[in-house]
Amino acid sequence: MEVNPPKQEHLLALKVMRLTKPTLFTNIPVTCEDRDLPGDLFNQLMKDDPSTVNGAETLMLGEMLTLPQNFGNIFLGETFSSYISVHNDSNQIVKDILVKADLQTSSQRLNLSASNATVAELKSDCCIDDVIHHEVKEIGTHILVCAVSYTTQSGEKMYFRKFFKFQVLKPLDVKTKFYNAETDEVFLEAQIQNITTSPMFMEKVSLEPSMMYNVVELNTVKQVGEGVSTFGSRTYLQPLDTRQYLYCLKPKQEFAEKAGIIKGVTVIGKLDIVWKTNLGERGRLQTSQLQRMAPGYGDVRLSLEAIPDTVNLEEPFHITCKITNCSSERTMDLVLEMCNTNSIHWCGVSGRQLGKLNPSSSLYLALTLLSSVQGLQSVSGLRLTDTFLKRTYEYDDIAQVCVVSSTIQVEG
């Protein structure tokens, strides 16, 4: 009968421990009223408990720290740190020790070892220690592969490895909305939700714009000449809470004059989010490039540069329009027609020639009109005709103006 030789035990032992911050110890208060059977016993026990806070024994607060009892959660954007120790459990001297730590993700394999050099020898009851760090940039399953190779005193080469699997979770849910203004400005609303089980301190939420835009953050208000956050002095985000951040992107001057270029820009920039958890553990996320749906202006774009908010009934007021040839190749010969509506009446000659408008160029036009109806009225009725192609472009509801009775004084 064939007998298999016993499996040889390794001379070295490998230990891997995750390095995390401790947590605050919390006790469960147990109290009773004085007239109950225990009397003041429970209250006195809580006062004598070293883990409670003096004067706040009945609250789940503590001044003591506890070491992690399990592996815990790892979130995207945090730094994964681990302590690796190889100990010589034998009474022999082991030579040519090589310790290698790799992190296997769904898309790549990364070498995390601080040094790939071979240790010449390791005496009995001695150890080789290493601390590895890695900023987690993928969600899903991660496998830490620790491999150890060495040579025994008899010259036999030995090798073993261990696998440590863990899941990387998503800490934040980020949703974005874009609003395209008539002035080529783009407003971005970013909704950020904390989907972890612990509160976060939001250290920074900023937008890094693309090369064609400048960004203005709209998350502060002026108070006594200083900008104060709209979220208050304590920017904590509780579990499952959502916060909205608003940004305004304006085209840089060199691109603002080129209507055709700005019209087709879809890449806006990316969000940079930095937070801290309970004991200062730092996390950081950068979104991919945010893209908007480019507005479709057609060949000719008409936008308002100036219009009053409030006007008097049946009194003329002035507006300034900007007409842009969005074509990059074709010159246009434009004719302006002004059509009255039930409430809006245009002053001036309709059907006048505006002349030739070169590709990607603009002209400014001052117009006069009045309203015969009170209330919030929509400015409509402008028509532009390109005589070259015999094509007419209609512009309705281009703006709104509040019309009040002339007996009400309109503030200038």
CATH number of the domain at 243, please: 2.60.40.1230
Among 392, 398, 393, smallest CA distance to 369 is for: 398
Instruction: Quote the CA–CA distance of 75 and 172 in Å, as a whole number.
Output: 9
Residue 6 lies in a domain: no
Q: For residue 318, what are the contacts with CB-CB under 8 A and spacing of at least 6?
A: 306, 308, 366, 367, 368
Claim to verify: residue 250 and residue 308 sit in the same structural domain: no
Instruction: Quote the CA–CA distance of 383 and 337 in Å, as a whole number.
Output: 5
Domain coverage including residue 139: 12-22+67-169
The residue length of the chain stands at 412
Domain end point (choices 242, 260, 294): 294
Claim to verify: residue 283 and residue 316 sit in the same structural domain: no
Report pLDDT for 272.
95
Report pLDDT for 230.
85
Claim to verify: residue 17 and residue 151 sit in the same structural domain: yes
Report pLDDT for 297.
62
The domain that holds 366 is classified in CATH as 2.60.40.10
Residue 189 lies in a domain: yes
State both tokens at 244. Answer: 């909205």
Instruction: Quote the CA–CA distance of 329 and 323 in Å, as a whole number.
Output: 16
Residue 7 lies in a domain: no
Claim to verify: residue 253 and residue 364 sit in the same structural domain: no
Residue 253, helix vs strand vs coil: helix
Residue 163 CA: distances (Å) to CA of 11, 15, 82, 166? 19, 11, 13, 10
DSSP state of 241: -
Domain end point (choices 138, 154, 169): 169
Domain end point (choices 235, 266, 294): 294
Report pLDDT for 1.
39
Claim to verify: residue 316 and residue 361 sit in the same structural domain: yes
Does the reported pTM lie above 0.85? no
Residue 410 lies in a domain: no
DSSP state of 225: T
Residue 27 CA: distances (Å) to CA of 21, 52, 59, 143, 230? 19, 7, 8, 35, 35
Quick one: which H or E segment has residue 41? helix 41-48
Residue 124 lies in a domain: yes
Claim to verify: residue 18 and residue 159 sit in the same structural domain: yes
pLDDT digits (tens, 9 = 90+) for 378-396: 999 999 999 888 888 888 8
Among 149, 245, 166, 238, smallest CA distance to 204 is for: 245
Claim to verify: residue 279 and residue 328 sit in the same structural domain: no
Residue 33 lies in a domain: no
Residue 308 lies in a domain: yes
Token pair 């950020």 is found at 192
Amino acid symbol at 58: T
Claim to verify: residue 157 and residue 194 sit in the same structural domain: no
Claim to verify: residue 206 and residue 273 sit in the same structural domain: yes
Report pLDDT for 50.
74
Residue 28 lies in a domain: no
pLDDT digits (tens, 9 = 90+) for 112-160: 987 788 888 999 999 999 999 999 999 999 999 999 999 998 889 999 9
Claim to verify: residue 129 and residue 184 sit in the same structural domain: no
Amino acid symbol at 120: A
Token pair 């010159």 is found at 331
Claim to verify: residue 262 and residue 347 sit in the same structural domain: no
Claim to verify: residue 149 and residue 18 sit in the same structural domain: yes
Report pLDDT for 201.
92
Number of domains in the chain: 3
Could you say which residues of the chain have pLDDT below 50? 1-5, 412
